[in-house]
């Protein structure tokens, strides 16, 4: 009799677990924004390598969004448009760009298959700026003289989008050389800053120049103490302010 009761309990518990998993996928947790806010978050929990957590956020076409996953272990996330197209990558910032559809965007989070298994809490953070607010053309870029690049990237994330487009596969080389950053300086209508790898300043550096008139971005990368690459590649297209910084 006890064995039969135990068997029934096991079946009930198992059904409840399956049901909860299905509800998590079919009824994702909604991320909401307080009135006037541009930042929202929601938490979940991953129970193993095969588990996934699902979230949903309502967005309008033309918004600039940044989706970030925080967790104590390695994760992989996917942003799914209302139409079904997808973009994602390893945990951290999985998307930083503009939306082109209006509706519910789903966010799927699971453990990275390339790392050690773990279980624990996760937090998904979404920053969604009103349409047009992220445009560098509308921002007072000159006001960022004396401020750090990370401040500008956070408040005008479209600058990061332009950097990604300019640098392509070299974007990581740039960010690796901005681990230590210094405030922007104004050189005419151009903001100039430089950064370096931790413990490798003067050896591994990045120099960033931004035209405050139209938000155009220009980059030079120093590797092994030499300027090895510029973006654009033709130095005739670089602003004089960047050339002066490269010569220092």
Does 79 fall in a domain? yes
Give residue 25's region: left, alpha or beta (phi > 0; psi -120 to 50).
Answer: alpha
Identify the pLDDT of residue 19: 39
- Burial letters for 10-30: b for 16+ Cβ neighbours within 10 Å, e otherwise? eeeeeeeeeeeeeebeeebee
Residue pLDDT, tens place only, 22-64: 335 678 999 999 887 778 999 999 998 889 999 999 999 988 8
pTM over 0.75: no
Residue pLDDT, tens place only, 86-144: 998 888 889 988 899 999 999 999 998 888 889 999 999 998 887 766 556 556 899 99
Q: What's the mean per-residue pLDDT of the chain?
A: 86
Evaluate if residue 83 carries a pLDDT over 80. yes
Evaluate if residue 8 carries a pLDDT over 50. no
163 and 66 together in one domain: no
Q: Domain residues for 43?
A: 28-129
Q: Of the candidates 129, 157, 172, which is a domain's last residue?
A: 129
Q: What is the CA radius of gyration of the chain?
A: 23
140 and 238 together in one domain: yes
- The residues near 225 (Cβ < 8 Å, ≥ 6 apart) are 202, 203
């Amino acid at each position: 009799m006890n064995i039969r009761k135990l068997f029934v309990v096991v079946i009930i518990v198992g059904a409840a677990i399956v049901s909860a998993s299905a509800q998590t996928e079919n009824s994702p947790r909604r991320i909401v924004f307080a009135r006037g806010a541009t930042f929202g978050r929601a938490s979940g929990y991953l129970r193993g390598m095969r588990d996934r957590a699902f979230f949903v956020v309502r967005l309008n076409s033309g918004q600039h969004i940044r989706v970030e996953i925080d967790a104590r272990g390695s994760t992989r996330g996917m942003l799914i448009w209302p139409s079904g197209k997808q973009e994602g990558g390893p945990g951290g910032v999985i998307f930083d760009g503009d939306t082109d559809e209006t509706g519910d965007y789903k966010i799927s989070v699971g453990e990275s298959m390339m790392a050690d298994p773990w279980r624990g809490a996760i937090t998904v953070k979404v920053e969604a700026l009103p349409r047009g607010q992220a445009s560098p053309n509308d921002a007072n870029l000159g006001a960022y003289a004396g401020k750090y690049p990370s401040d500008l990237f956070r408040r005008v994330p479209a600058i990061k989008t332009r950097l990604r487009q300019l640098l392509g596969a070299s974007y990581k080389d740039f960010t690796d050389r901005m681990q230590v950053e210094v405030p922007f300086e104004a050189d005419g209508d151009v903001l100039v800053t430089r950064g370096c790898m931790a413990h490798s300043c003067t050896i591994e550096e990045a120099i960033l120049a931004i035209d405050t008139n139209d938000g155009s971005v220009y980059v030079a990368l120093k590797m092994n103490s030499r300027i090895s690459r510029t973006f654009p590649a033709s130095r005739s297209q670089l602003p004089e302010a960047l050339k002066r910084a490269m010569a220092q």
